[in-house]
Amino acid sequence: MRKIIFILAAVALVASCSQSRKWTDKEREELRELVRTHKDRVAIRHMEEANYQNLEQCVLTTIEGTYPDYNQYNKLTGKTDTLNAVILSCLDYTIGPNFENLPLLFPVGQLQQAGILPDSVTDAQAAAFYGCLAGKIKTIYGTPANFTSALFNDMDVPMELSGAMQECVKSATCCDSTATAQPNVPMKNK
């Protein structure tokens, strides 16, 4: 009798564990739609489609990995906050620790369409622009997390970023990018 009760208890335990609810394709698509509702944010709006799909996949993988049972995620009281935090985390990862992936957020073509970069910008000038912009963003925001948070929470490009872009365009396109700048050497007094 004890063996039968023990076996039934073990079967019930295995059955309850095996019935933990996994995410369905419909639930995954619902989460992707929620991410898409944030596409008007500056940090996401300018991304090329392939990079945006990578962001969506990062968000989905992170949330599904954290909450393997969809009901557990769906019952969160701070579901929107959780989604926003994961989007920011994935954007931080996308940008890179040294802002090396700024072209993914602000592609040259879109900057040209917006009138920020001239149509005649060369690859070397674009590289100089992104290098300059990365330096200015590090100075203004400090970390990728602060930068993406500012972009995500502000519907328009923050004034600091707009000014930094304009300064970097001038510095990258004003001169021949193959020429090296000569440092100012102070003259010695005799």
The owner of tokens 């073509």 is: 109
Residue 9 has pLDDT above 90, yes or no: no
Who has greater pLDDT, 153 or 84?
A: 84
The better pLDDT of the pair 189, 41 is held by 41
Q: Which residue has the higher pLDDT, 91 or 130?
A: 130
**pLDDT computed for residue 186 by the predictor:** 41
Mean pLDDT of 69-92: 87
Tens of pLDDT along 20-76? 568 999 999 999 998 888 887 777 777 778 888 888 999 999 999 999 998 888 888
Query: Which pLDDT value is given to residue 88?
Result: 86
3-state secondary structure of 19: coil
pLDDT tens by residue, 160-184: 888 999 999 999 987 644 433 333 3
Distance CA 167, CA 162 (A): 9
pLDDT, residue 154, reads 75
Residue 16: per-residue pLDDT: 47
pTM exceeds cut of 0.75: no
- Residue 58 CA to residue 183 CA, distance in Å, equals 44
Torsion of CA 74, 148, 49, 93, to 10 degrees: -80
Question: Helical H runs in 69-177?
Answer: 70-74, 79-95, 102-105, 108-113, 123-141, 144-153, 159-173
